[in-house]
Amino acid sequence: MLLLGAGWVGYRGWRAYGHLNSAAAMARQLGGEVLGGDRARALRTLAALQEQTASARSATADPGWWLGTHVPYTGDDLAAVRDLAVTIDELARHAFPALLRIDPAVLVPRSGRFDVAGLRAAATSLDEADQAVRRARTRISGVPDGELHAQVRSAVATLRDELAELGTVTGGASTAARLLPALLGGDGGRHYLMVSQNPAELRATGGMFGAYALVQVTGGRLKLVRQGPSTELGRFAPPVLPLDAELRGLYRNLPGSYPADVNLTPHFPTAAALYREMYRRHTGRNVDGVLATDPVMLSYLLQATGPVAVPEHTTLAAATVTRTLLSDTYQRLNPREQDEYFAASAMAVFNSLLGRTVEPRAVLAALDRAVTERRLLFWSARPAEQRELAGTRVGGVLPAHEDTPTVGVFLNDGSGAKLGWYLHPAATLTVGGCRPDGRRELRLRVTLRSTAPRSGLAGSVTGLALSGDPYTARTLVNVHSPAGGTVVNARLDGRPVRVGSGTERRRQVAIANVEVRPGATRTLEVTLLTPAGAGGTADLWLTPAAHPWTTRIQSASTTCEQ
């Protein structure tokens, strides 16, 4: 009888495994159909997916399976497969149908206006989907995977990773849909500063705040009412808002005194609040929030809208806009003409996005990519809204507490120039073994390669040439430890290097001055420690640069015991 029972459980397990494999393939297919806008086919795929997940759940639900979960050696595997089946079935029953009820068209403007009522309706479905994903993550995170068979352990780990990614999307979308009706003036008019970050002159959140636009929003309708360069705001002494001792220790009074330096810190809420106050001092007007973008995000949007003509200037196209705005413009125009071109470009793209009929999914894909790369950041001056934004990627909050150890690599230009266009960054983070005190060693390797020419650049590009050579890019590389962690040492091109130090939001900070000559590559290596009890994974938070980072993270397989 025992052998018969084992054979029955094995047969049911084989069936469950087949259904789960089919469900995984269908889930990937469903995702592509949803993103592709094929709703009819997506509904058919969802029905087939639900059939497979229900069969897998049924195959793991009989008394024989339950008894099998209590058998030594194989019991944990059977319990884990049961959890996998239930989790995926719950997603198919609750999360995916809720997402399919949403019309993506309500998430983008039409005829210059957002559908505020449609957004409120979408918020309900998005919240339902997010709650389902949260329940799934809770269930699968409780599966003990230490003694599982390799195949089952891999399936659990894969589902955890996919749910984490899905949860980031549904959580952010749910928060956005809940907040957007009010943010878009559904409950009364709003004014926002939209600032353009310029990664040709790097700052920790992406680039110097080079220009701003004042945007008025009423009942879902957006209107650009004023533009100007950040330089017109002037300088301020003393700082416009109090800076705590940590900030002053790292950045002196610069963030509170110069509009171009508010984002020397990677913590976007600090930068946004400082810039808002500078604008208020200059104009007498309070705004309701600050939105930051950059030309790379603009290239993503242009893929959705198509090329945009700028009167009397170069047409902006997705493939060339970053070079046009971050390099060519500085070579061919004087500073006054540059400001005029940047303002005209912002107006042209703004009007195009609001006035053209665009494919919603293309716009949403562009925005999702920009948020993922932290090229789209938003801060609200209203505390209740900001508390909700703080937990999202778009909030740009440098957390003082975190579940996964995160190493920050933030770049600030030290040349007083526009040489950031020529820098190509890369980073590798390796998670090491556990120390006796329960902490884990992290090894970070950052490389900066310069493709700058040796001559021929305009004065607008070489700027102040603070490195001593107009063509050498001086970059202050700020390495932030994980929250509660420490920085141990640093080496530049294989040799020990002295670094500046400080703390920010429970993170130790090392600041290395890295000067890169044309055609050269410099390598900075930093050893860090996590807090005690860290898992085998870690993450990187990087300054969005003009060119994408090349990154690699090498995880470990065990959790450190405290």
Helix (H, G, I), strand (E, B) or coil at 334: coil
Query: Do 531 and 488 meet the contact criterion of CB atoms below 8 Å apart?
Result: no
Q: Write phi, then psi, for 180 (nearest 5 degrees).
A: -60, -40
**Cα angle: 104, vertex 105, 110; to 5 degrees:** 155
Closest CA relative to residue 193, chosen from 230, 235, 220: 230
C-alpha dihedral, 526 to 529 to 530 to 531, nearest 10°: -150
> Partners of 141 in the beta sheet?
none
**499-506: long-range contacts, CB 8 A cutoff, minimum separation 24:** 500/250, 502/246, 502/249, 502/250, 503/246, 503/249, 504/246, 504/247, 504/250, 504/265, 504/267, 504/398, 504/480, 505/246, 505/267, 505/398, 505/399, 505/400, 506/400, 506/401
Contacts of 383 (CB under 8 A, 6+ apart): none
Q: Which two tokens stand for residue 4?
A: 């018969």
**Residue position matching structure tokens 């790379």:** 296
Q: pLDDT value at position 3?
A: 31
DSSP strands (E only) in 285-337: 289-293
Contacts of 12 (CB under 8 A, 6+ apart): 59, 60, 62, 64, 65
Q: pLDDT value at position 7?
A: 37
| 401-554 under CATH 2.60.40, yes or no | yes
pLDDT tens track, the chain, 562 positions: 333 333 333 434 445 556 666 766 777 677 666 656 677 888 888 888 788 878 878 877 767 666 667 666 667 777 777 777 888 888 888 888 887 887 777 777 877 788 898 888 888 888 888 898 889 888 888 877 767 777 777 777 777 777 787 777 778 778 888 888 999 999 999 999 999 999 999 999 999 999 999 999 999 999 999 999 999 999 999 999 999 999 999 999 999 999 999 999 999 999 999 999 999 999 999 999 999 999 999 999 999 889 999 888 889 999 999 999 999 999 988 888 888 888 888 888 888 877 777 787 788 888 889 999 999 999 999 999 999 999 889 999 999 999 899 999 999 999 999 999 999 999 999 999 889 999 999 999 999 999 999 999 999 999 999 999 999 999 999 999 999 999 999 999 999 999 999 999 999 999 999 999 999 999 999 999 999 988 889 999 999 999 999 999 999 877 676 5
Q: Classify residue 60 by its DSSP letter.
A: T
368: left (phi over 0), alpha (psi -120 to 50) or beta: alpha
CA 100 distance to own-chain centroid: 24
Domain map (residue ranges) of the chain: 2-183, 190-387, 401-554
**Would you state the CATH architecture of domain 190-387?**
3-Layer(aba) Sandwich (3.40)
